[in-house]
Chain A
Amino acid sequence: MEASSLKKAGILSLIVALIIMGCWEFYLRSIGVSNSFDDNEALWAYKRAQIYDEPERSTFFIGSSRIKFDIDLRTWKEVTGEKPVQLALVGTSPQLILKNLADDKNFNGKLIVDGTEFILFSRDPGDQESAKKSIEYYKKWTPAQKASFYIDYVLQRNLVFLESKKFSLNGILDLLTLAERKSVPVFRGFPIGFEPTTFDRQNVMSDDFTNDTTRQRQVKNAWIQFGAVSSTPGIKGDSLQNIFKDLKISIDKIKASGGQVIFLRPPSSGEARAGERIAYPRELYWNKLLQYTNTPGIYFEDYPEIANFECPEWSHLSRQQAVVFTKKIIEILQKEKGWVFNNKQTTSFNNINAKNF
């Protein structure tokens, strides 16, 4: 082939690719899809590295998806004047992240640990996998990967089709309905609008989602499929004791370095809450956890203002609910738990509402 034909082929390929991807982007925006960042190992590593920035002026969050939805980071920053760093990982026990922070002698910040029992008290390797991968990635984060991360950030900020979970090739193929094989659980992903992720790693339900009971039902069905609303009794005996022991070792290390730790039990409702009550009675898990680790905790049901949220899909708060919840948590931390934040403008509690977003 002559160079001119190759040139024509190359130009045609670029034009076709640009037109098709442009149409795809336009279509997704037209159906209300907004920007969402890939909550991958690189983003986690970027946030993990922030523990060295100003640890004494930052609050760190670890746990699973509930704390990622329920703590509104913008509200946190505006009210406390401190930088919130979200290190929780969806579907992941905070055990390994806690240990990783405890083993880092430089860590002496404020730490809030998601106390959702079925994931905090889990030894299932699947519940540790993301944490393991993210920590490994962080340790080996190469200069090339860092540079790619920053370029990726610019692209993801501007193109909605780059949300890989939903709009990647595999995400699209997963929408195909096929006769499934017996005993192979197939998860086709969460509906659009349930879990958009900000660059700060907060998950924020879209307004469309919070108004759409069909999509909420899809997520509820997913929780049933995952066994997250099960009332099967949780881990007990030596296994539970060993988890308590490991948590205590890590917490003691952080305290010894000058850090502060508190457990936070985020809200749930409906069938999820009903299952949790049976599977993880408070006196056998939460109370013992605080007692064994000698660590304070905030249990949502102890505070009327945040005790009765109706989570849209039983397990996570909407954006508006998260703002209310976050403000209350800060208030409890300051007034009840003795936490001191650098910013004194606690009067601004009532000036912040979800419309700020």
Chain B
Amino acid sequence: MVFNSYTFIVFFIIMLVLHNLPLPWKIKKINLLIASYIFYAAWNPPFVLLLWLATIVDFYVGKALYTQPNKYKRHLLLVISLIGNLGMLCFFKYGGFLLENFTHLVNAMGINYHPAKPNIILPAGISFYTFTTLCYTIDMYKRRSEPVKSMLDFALFVTFFPHLVAGPIVRPPQLVPQFETPRTANQKQLLQGLLLISLGLFMKVVLADSMLANPANTVFNSNDALNTLDAWMGVLAFSGQIFFDFAGYSSCAIGVASCLGFVLPENFLYPYAAIGFSDFWRRWHITLSAWLRDYLYIPLGGNRHGKFKTYINLMITMLLGGLWHGANWTFVAWGALHGFYLWVEKFMQDLKTRKKPVPEMVMQSNIVTRGIMAPRFLKTVQSSNFLLALFTFFLVNVTWVFFRAPDFTSAWRILTSMFSHVSKGTVLLSTLTIIKVSVIVVAMVLFHWFMRNTRVLTVASKLPWWVLGLIWSAMLILLILSQESSSSFIYFQF
């Protein structure tokens, strides 16, 4: 079920009613759990079995990991959990990719091997709930937090429908305690939730689907060398599309949870106002970058084993982060490019701090609270330095080419069209489309810049009620008028 569908509206109204009935808290939690399974099964009912499997295995393995005194048995339990979680992810998401690459490899070695192409359907959101369950077992192994006492609470933590298929990726301490005591939304939470849902749907349906998806698809699906303006417009449209699509989903998720009385972590903080790439990753898909930092970068050694190792760890984290997004080398290239940008940024930071080394502990605490890697030197940059943010946005756009292009040939073709004069490059986009993309992208970047140090609910709270009401109604009207069919969110495929 997607948030931008009539089915969800009906489903959500029923859930709100049920959740506000005078029922025991346990019954309400069971309602939420059943609803979450229905929410998921509405895509493809058999895949609920995978959720059940992951829930049951990780609940018991997690408990055993925490209580087991024998070091070797604990290692073994962790391995079982990792194999279970990552094995499922590898099979469904990377099975075809691995087989394809293996085939290329053996063919290159002169062995004639041509297996049938596997027809594996990717369960929606598998990457998200795998990371959710994985962090629980790793936390249990490290004894970072107490095991969840009740199977019901654990199942709800894994399956809670607002975050289930596309995040935000939640950690047990963020959500499990919320299931322990009765919760319903007060009037303010409910209205803030509805405002966030309206905003999220407006971003997804009006801006991403209705205005930007078509130009992005037209440009990226073209097999021709393109006119420079068209290539740029297509890439800028995709930059906007992917932000509005994913940030829209996150706003809806947070809003839906708020209407039910729960709090989910923020996932986006105006990323196109980022100054530098570490700042970008503190603002883009925050819960993923924090996950990668805590469960990959730091376990790899982080910045604790010298500069060279830090650079290597950084690149490994970004490469795997890229691969997490999809089973294609273009995603790895996207991650590599981000890794390279972070290298350059870190190199500049190291040059600046050479004379004045920063203690490790300070660095770590900063990381934990704010994001993956804080660029200390950039903190001195004046907030008015809009040009640096624009330069970052420009570089981000280059990375999106690899993210969106179906293959490297297409990516190079678009990059060539963007950065060189292609004589007789194909002209694809109409004047109206160019105006739409330009207006939306310029407005988006300016909006991000002016909002970079605040939050939408904070700004909304300062507006006179009638101004907020008119803005809200404009969003609703455009939402109804756009009449986009309920297309999936881009991140469902990841």
Contacts and interface: CB of A to CB of B under 8 A. Distances in A.
Interface stretch (B37-45, B57-65, B93-101): B37-45
Interface in B145-201: 186-188, 191-192, 194-195, 198
A184 B427 contact: yes
A143 B42 contact: yes
Contact of B5 (A3, A10, A144, A167): A144
Given A6-B465, A144-B43, A13 B473 contact: yes
B469 interface: yes
Contacts of A169: 206, 210-211, 478, 481-483
B430 interface: yes
B431 A179 contact: yes
A37 to B, nearest CB: 12
A355 to B, nearest CB: 33
A173 B483 CA distance: 13
Given A12-B466, A172-B481, A3 B476 contact: no
B182 to A, nearest CB: 20
A151 B7 contact: yes
A17 B465 CA distance: 16
B63 to A, nearest CB: 34
Nearest to A162: B483
B465 A12 contact: yes
A16 B465 CA distance: 14
Contacts of B483: 38, 162, 164, 167-169
A7 interface: yes
A20 B477 contact: yes
A31 interface: no
Contact of A10 (B463, B469, B485): B469
Contacts of B198: 13
A336 B462 CA distance: 78
A21 interface: yes
A21 B480 contact: yes
Contacts of A148: 5-7, 486
Nearest to B435: A178
A13 B192 CA distance: 14
Given A7-B191, A142-B44, A151-B10, A16 B485 contact: no
B259 to A, nearest CB: 12
Interface in B188-226: 188, 191-192, 194-195, 198, 206, 210-211
A42 B485 CA distance: 9
B433 to A, nearest CB: 9
Contact of B194 (A10, A144, A182): A10
Interface string A160-186: 011010011110111010111111101
Given A151-B6, A186-B430, A16 B482 contact: no
B469 A12 contact: yes
A167 B427 CA distance: 27
B116 interface: no
Contacts of B191: 3, 6-7, 9-10
Given A162-B483, A168-B482, A13 B427 contact: no
Contacts of A15: 473
Given A6-B192, A169-B482, A182 B427 contact: yes
Contacts of B348: none
A180 B433 CA distance: 11
B444 interface: no
Contact of A17 (B1, B195, B480, B484): B480
Interface in A2-28: 2-3, 5-17, 20-21
Nearest to B198: A13
Contacts of A106: none
B216 to A, nearest CB: 15
A1 interface: yes
A145 interface: yes
Contact of B431 (A147, A161, A180): A180
Name the prevailing secondary structure of the A interface residues.
helix
A222 to B, nearest CB: 16
B469 A144 contact: no
Interface in A31-71: 38, 40-42
Contacts of A10: 191, 194-195, 469, 472
A42 B476 CA distance: 24
Contact of A144 (B2, B206, B430, B465): B2
A13 B470 CA distance: 6
Contacts of A16: 469-470, 473, 477
A152 interface: yes
Nearest to A173: B432
A13 B472 contact: yes
A87 B124 CA distance: 30
B468 interface: yes
B445 interface: no
Interface in B122-158: none
Contacts of A142: 42-44
B121 to A, nearest CB: 9
A17 B476 CA distance: 6
A173 B436 contact: yes
Contacts of A143: 41-43, 45
Contacts of A162: 483
Contacts of B462: 1
Chain A CB within 10 A, most for which of B198, B434, B465? B465
B388 interface: no
A183 B187 CA distance: 55
A12 B468 CA distance: 9
Contacts of B469: 8-13, 16
B481 A168 contact: yes
Given A3-B187, A182-B427, A184-B427, A144 B7 contact: yes
B107 interface: no
Chain A CB within 10 A, most for which of B210, B468, B481? B481
B430 A7 contact: no
Contacts of B186: 3
Chain A CB within 10 A, most for which of B10, B432, B484? B432
Contacts of B475: 13
A7 B187 contact: yes
B258 to A, nearest CB: 12
Interface of B: 1-2, 5-8, 10, 41-45, 186-188, 191-192, 194-195, 198, 206, 210-211, 427-432, 434-436, 460-463, 465-466, 468-470, 472-473, 475-478, 480-486
Ranked nearest first, the 8 interchain pairs of A and B with the lowest CB-CB distance are A12-B469, A144-B42, A1-B461, A13-B472, A16-B473, A151-B6, A13-B473, A9-B469
6 contacts: A1-B462, A6-B195, A7-B191, A9-B469, A12-B466, A147-B6
Interface of A: 1-3, 5-17, 20-21, 38, 40-42, 142-145, 147-148, 151-152, 155, 161-162, 164, 167-170, 172-174, 176, 178-184, 186
Given A6-B191, A168-B483, A184-B429, 16 more contacts: A1-B468, A2-B188, A6-B465, A9-B472, A12-B472, A142-B44, A145-B486, A147-B42, A161-B481, A164-B483, A169-B211, A170-B211, A173-B432, A180-B430, A181-B431, A184-B431
